[in-house]
Amino acid sequence: MGEFSGIILVPIGEVDPVIIAWLKEDIPKILPANVRESTPLSLSPRHFQNDRDQYLADGLLADLSSIPRDENTIPLGITGADLFSYSLNYVFGIACTGRALISISRLKPECYGMPANQKLFRWRIFTEAIHELGHAFGLPHCEYPGCVMYFSNWIGDTDRKGPEFCYRCRRRIGLPGKA
């Protein structure tokens, strides 16, 4: 992870403070990071697409470049808005080198007709946050289905892979191997 020094959690729109607290606690379990919270950003109506009833993820990700930070800190946006990207009907998150964004909208078990399950919901949020942060560090998708960097075609992929990097992805971003 080179000169990486921290992660700034950026609520975008209305985000339950419990989710921010979960991420502050969970992210350092995988990434040796100073995790702190910034002031929230508003959910900009200019990124809303009426015909889809969704927000353009790429636009919200670009908005994160306005967060004051040093060059070694990565902003992670968290929103409850349902997101899409140009070639995808929906996304759980999106990232580019140096910044990342997740949506909790489609991570809720209720979205799939399941009963509310706080443990599963937290697990999905944690997994997607680490996945998008991996992209922010420059990692591509991984072909190993158990690696957090595996592409999630559907929520079942997210549930199966969990928040851990495989050995190869850990090495690529400079994390020590697991014992």
Strand-by-strand arrangement of the 73-79 sheet:
34-37, 6-12, 73-79, 99-103, 93-96
Q: Is 25 a catalytic residue?
A: no
The percent helix, strand, coil of the chain (3-state, each to 5) is: 35, 20, 40
Distances from the Cα of 55 to the Cα of 76, 93, 106, 168, angstroms:
17, 12, 13, 34
> Which of 3, 14, 25, 132 does the annotation list as catalytic?
132
**Encoded tokens for 177:** 């191997």
**Cα–Cα dist 100/61, whole Å:** 7
**Using an 8 Å Cβ cutoff, are 38 and 70 in contact?**
no
**Cα–Cα dist 64/77, whole Å:** 7
- Report which secondary-structure segment, H or E, holds 171: helix 167-172
Q: What amino acid positions are annotated as catalytic residues?
A: 132
